[in-house]
Structure 1
Amino acid sequence: MRTRHFDRIGNGGIDFTELGFGTAPLGNLYRAVSDEDANATLEAAWKAGCRYYDTAPLYGLGLSETRLNPFLRSKKRDDYVLSSKVGRIMRASPPEHRTGIGKFFDTPSRREVYDYSYDGVMRSFEASLERLGVDRIDILFVHDVDIFTHGSRQASDQRIEEFMRSGYYGLLSLRDQGVIKAFGGGINEWPVAQTLAERGDFDLFLLAGRYTLLEQEALQSFLPLCQKRGIGIVLGGPYNSGILASGPRPGAFYNYSEAPQDIIDRVTRIEAVCKRHGVRLIEAALQFPLLHPSVVSVIPGGQRPSEVESNRSLLDAKLPKALWADLKQEGLMRADAPTA
């Protein structure tokens, strides 16, 4: 698999495989997965060439990290790149009060406590090291200081202030000491990621679903800022929660909910252009983000080996340049989206 070398500050950098593996689904997201099936999926990702694995304490309330533990123990530490996240502490709770009921299934009984302070960052980092069973994590992302998570712009701004006053200096210290290679933000909204980029010395952003075949508004100002400052983008959610993989069928998901009609209509038009060029919608969706020079890896995730194998095969599809030109011509893609 092709790799992309990223070295923003001259510390040796990180080699990302173009296809990484996002482990939220292995935290029993939306359905329970057995330990055996989770490990088989991770091994399939390794066999496919994925050498970048992203996780977080939130995913399965620690389950995603603990499932990575036995898998990673069988690999040489220098052979893969690992990222996790900070901003939440997982605390034991009664089962009826655990976080994520109806979203995460068959998980430990824990509840999330948001903590973007210096001490909170360090506690979260140490707990992740223990759950993962590793002696180092390459990248730490501050997780979910966005409106989607906290419910309002005011609440998001408060979390950003808490982090920038305190927890930010924890990540800065870990990077300056060489404990981690890079740090950034795992964010659902590009304007919030831009706010962070304008206020601190961030290396990378894990942007979930906000630069896709369906959405390119981040080109307005955020992605140009990333290019100017040498900031890398890990692109999560390249299928916008499903609709760019399943197609515009009834009940298709967009942003973790049933897709509204205007989204279905737009994807229908995008798919029609793809079909004219003999291209599957899902192929174009996975490859499009990688055409931007700031994107270092795309991490679609998966719960089954077949899903990982499918994602790998999509990278090998040959897409005609005329596809992108026609999408732009029909107003289905921003004219300034990089496509070469």
Structure 2
Amino acid sequence: MTNPFEENSAYRFGFGASGLGTLSWDVPDDVADAILAEAWAEGFRYYDTSPLYGYGLSELRLGRFLRNKPRGEYLLSTKVGRYFVPYKRGETPDRGGWVRPLPLRPVLDYTYDGFMRSLEQSYNRLGAQTIDIVYIHDLDRRNLKAGFDQHYRETLDSGYRALDELRRSGDLKAIGIGINEADVAADLVSKLDLDVVMLAGRYTLLEQPGLADFLPLAEKKGVDVVAVGIFNSGILVKPPEAGGNYDYGAAPPEIIDKARRIAAVCAEVGVEMPAAAVHFPLAHPVVKAVVVGMSRLGAVKQNFDWYRASIPEVLWDRLRAEGLLSANAPTP
């Protein structure tokens, strides 16, 4: 197993570049550049992106910025599972949930050739000679729906071999999966020789289903974990009165209630809830990094302030006493 996160402690808190793909608003080029400059100045040295983010726009912007930085001073990861083709003349581009992505059409492909084509495009967009970590992206039921079984088989029978060959040749430091479902992550860790899993939303201050099977298995097999989606789509930043901000959609009442109870305990102890959300996953021995996304000036410093914050032990004791935190979850 390869552990690139041991090379530099600065990789422990990572910059997620999904917002640079216009996830929540139409980020202009100059603002994207300013955000990245602010991130570098604050100390971010792990940068994660994906072809999915803005249909290549995030990779273009991140690559343009990082080309001016010493290559040995940062860790770079991207993902495979989709490549992009132009629309035919007369076709109306589908933005796919992005505000203003590049006018390209995504093609889901988890085969050997699909992964190689995806990576070739990523190298071109990033303008990078090396990519450190490549994650197999969104190989879960919520994203693939009826196509899950087919793409799962393609990955095991074909796609994984492409990444394994690149790792064996030294072209990649590490390979992994970027996934939203802890049970699927556990299954893939049991079947593939992975270095790292990027787990989204399933090991957070709000919920810890990853503790059941996935995290113990990852620890047993020596697989590192990168925790993402740690704010559960924003509900751990500011709990709503009703509606959205949870797991990419509308939050059910019981989730809103739990988030508000966590917020109340944090307020009583004098801790900002987002700071607690940043620190919590990092206490688990297999979680080597937390990655947070941001797409507005000022958000970079705010996130880094949460990372630098000191969290009193009494907070975790209070959360457990209120039944808001799994009894067996490691805490800082």
Greater CA drift, 39-48 or 12-21: 12-21
Displacement of 1:12: 9.9
The answer to whether the aligner puts 1:249 opposite 2:241 as a matched pair is yes
| Counterpart selection for 2:49 from 42, 45, 55 | 55
The answer to whether the aligner puts 1:296 opposite 2:291 as a matched pair is no
For the 8 Å contact 1:99–1:112, the answer to whether it is kept is no
State the distance in 1 between where 2:274 and 2:235 align. Answer: 9
For the 8 Å contact 2:4–2:174, the answer to whether it is kept is no
What SS is found at the alignment partner of 1:31?
Answer: coil
2:200 maps to amino acid = A
State the distance in 2 between where 1:271 and 1:11 align. Answer: 34
For the 8 Å contact 1:247–1:281, the answer to whether it is kept is no
Match of 1:90 in 2: 84
The answer to whether the aligner puts 1:263 opposite 2:247 as a matched pair is no
The answer to whether the aligner puts 1:116 opposite 2:110 as a matched pair is yes
1:98 maps to amino acid = P
Give a deviation string over 1:57-107, Cα, whole Å, max 9, x none.
110000000001220111011110000001111111158553434x11222
The answer for unaligned runs of 5 or more in structure 2 is none
2:217 maps to amino acid = L
Greater CA drift, 165-174 or 313-322: 313-322
Change (3 A) 1:10 1:188: closer
Displacement of 1:319: 1.0
The answer for unaligned runs of 5 or more in structure 1 is 1-7
Displacement of 1:201: 0.2
Match of 1:190 in 2: 182
Change (3 A) 1:322 1:12: closer
1:23 maps to amino acid = A
Change (3 A) 1:177 1:99: farther
For the 8 Å contact 1:14–1:181, the answer to whether it is kept is no
Match of 1:227 in 2: 219
State the distance in 2 between where 1:303 and 1:12 align. Answer: 24
Change (3 A) 1:164 1:175: same
For the 8 Å contact 1:45–1:305, the answer to whether it is kept is no
For the 8 Å contact 2:3–2:224, the answer to whether it is kept is no
State the distance in 1 between where 2:92 and 2:183 align. Answer: 32
CA-based RMSD of the aligned residues comes to 1.7
State the distance in 2 between where 1:172 and 1:73 align. Answer: 26
Match of 1:237 in 2: 229
Displacement of 1:296: 1.4
Displacement of 1:263: 0.6
For the 8 Å contact 1:27–1:63, the answer to whether it is kept is yes
Give the TM-score normalised by structure 2. 0.95
What SS is found at the alignment partner of 2:299?
Answer: helix
How many residue pairs get aligned? The number is 330
Give the TM-score normalised by structure 1. 0.93
Displacement of 1:10: 7.6
